[in-house]
Amino acid sequence: MTSRRVVVTQRFFDAETVAYLEDNGCEVSLAELPAGQADGGLGRDELLRMLEGAAGWIVGHARVTRELLAALPRLQVVSRRGVGHDRVDLVAARELGKVVCIAAGGNDASVADHAIALMLAVGHRFRETQARMAEGDFSILMGRDLCEKTVGIVGLGRIGRSLARRLSGFDCRILAAVRGPLPDGIPPGVEPVDLDTLARESDYISIHAPLTDETRFMFDAGRIARMKPTAFLINTARGGLVDDAALLAALKAGAIAGAGLDVYLSESDPAYADVTAELVGLPNVIATPHAAASTHEGLARTNMVAARSVVAVLDGKDPARECLVADGRRDRARG
Just list the catalytic residues: 238, 267, 290
Residues 6+ apart with CB under 8 A from 257: 122, 144, 228, 229, 230, 231, 232, 284
| End-to-end Cα, the chain, rounded Å | 29
Mode of pairing for the β-strands spanning 99-101 and 232-235: unpaired
As a whole number of angstroms, the distance between CA 3 and CA 53 comes to: 8
Is the separation of the CB atoms in 264 and 279 below 8 Å?
yes
- Alpha carbon of residue 270 to chain centroid: 18
Q: Quick one: angle between helices 108-123 and 158-168, nearest 10?
A: 50
DSSP, residue by residue, 107-146: SHHHHHHHHHHHHHHHHTTHHHHHHHHHTT--PPPP----
